[in-house]
Amino acid sequence: MQRYFVKHRVNDNRFMIEGDDRHHIVNVMRMQTGDQIVCVDDEGRQAICRLADITDEIVAADVVQWKEGNSELPISVTIASGLPKGDKLEWIIQKGTELGAHQFLPFSAARSVVKWDEKKAAKKIDRWHKIAKEAAEQSHRTVVPEIIKPMSFNAMLEKSNEFSYKLAAYEEESKAGEASNFSTCLNQMKQGDSLLLVFGPEGGLADKEIEKLKSSGFVLCGLGPRILRTETAPLYTLAAISYHFELLR
């Protein structure tokens, strides 16, 4: 059953769907009145709905049954990625959403080849939001992850003060055999805590950035004996977090 995040809920009995989602229902899925979908509101509540009316502007969907259940991670995970090349960040956002990330925070790192262009910012962020929304619908999330506007490394350090726990993946720690900081952090966390995970771009984090991270309260961690690419490491950590908090319990 198709799932849609709907901002406009008239009351507990009816959703009004417009824009791209209306287009998808009418022109892509070719649905008609009487067909059923799942609507998720801004509070994460989800309902099985029946299409009641289709016009040139909106689709009205009436609630058949409110659904119970929560598919969100019990902790809030933010993935902070040093701006990578090409479409790697889109991949991280799409797959990271499927794996339960709460936020994505791109930042300009010393070794980022890509430079953030403010002129193209709005279009880029809109695309990232769309990718996250579609991935959240596909994976039956009840929340669409927030995409934070890219910021400088120092601004990211400032924002890190908002989090309960802070980790930075550092390949030199993996090479040295460090294998406990990540799991120790997860063992200390409890439901409702927030975790910021920092990953460098291609080429990793620079020495000066590592020193700043440590002085800002970050714990450096290895991610096993293999060196992971910038687009692989966030997905590894999210999978490990899901296993720790959801499958083991």
Q: What is the pLDDT of residues 11-33, one digit of tens each?
A: 889 999 999 999 999 999 999 99
Report the interhelical angle of 181-188 vs 233-242 (nearest 10°): 40
pLDDT at 97 over 80: yes
pLDDT at 39 over 90: yes
pLDDT at 114 over 90: no
Give the model's pLDDT for residue 224.
87
Say if domain 76-247 classifies as CATH 3.20.20.60.
Answer: no
Rounded to whole angstroms, the Cα distance separating 112 from 203 reads 8
Give the model's pLDDT for residue 96.
98
Q: Are strands 36-40 and 103-108 parallel, antiparallel or unpaired?
A: unpaired
Give the model's pLDDT for residue 179.
74
User: Considering only 34-48, 52-66, 171-185, which range has the smallest mean pLDDT?
Assistant: 171-185
- Long-range contacts, 237-244 (Cβ 8 Å, 24+): 237/77, 237/169, 237/182, 237/197, 238/77, 238/79, 238/96, 238/99, 238/100, 238/101, 239/99, 240/182, 240/186, 241/73, 241/75, 241/77, 241/100, 241/186, 241/195, 242/73, 242/99, 242/100, 244/183, 244/186
pLDDT category, 157, cuts 50, 70, 90?
very high
**Which is more confident, 7 or 144?**
144
Q: What's the one-letter identity of residue 60?
A: A
Q: In this structure, which CATH number among 1.10.645.10, 2.60.120.10, 2.30.30.100, 2.40.240.20 belongs to the domain 3-67? A: 2.40.240.20
DSSP H or E stretch at residue 120: none
User: Considering only 7-11, 76-80, 145-149, 232-236, which range has the smallest mean pLDDT?
Assistant: 7-11
- Closest listed residue to residue 104, CA positions, set 123, 80, 122: 80
pLDDT at 249 over 80: no
Rounded to whole angstroms, the Cα distance separating 106 from 149 reads 7
Q: Residue ranges per domain, the chain? A: 3-67, 76-247
Give the model's pLDDT for residue 122.
86
Q: What's the one-letter identity of residue 209?
A: E
- Closest listed residue to residue 200, CA positions, set 79, 48, 75: 79
Instruction: Give the model confidence (pLDDT) of 174-233 as tens digits.
Output: 677 777 899 999 999 999 999 999 999 999 999 999 999 999 999 999 998 889 999 999
Instruction: Give the model confidence (pLDDT) of 119-150 as tens digits.
Output: 778 889 999 999 999 999 999 999 999 999 99
Give the model's pLDDT for residue 178.
72
The pLDDT mean for the chain works out to 94
The reply to whether 3-67 and 76-247 are identical in fold is no
**Length of the chain, in residues:** 249
Give the model's pLDDT for residue 146.
97
**Which is more confident, 117 or 47?**
47
Q: What is the pTM of this model?
A: 0.92
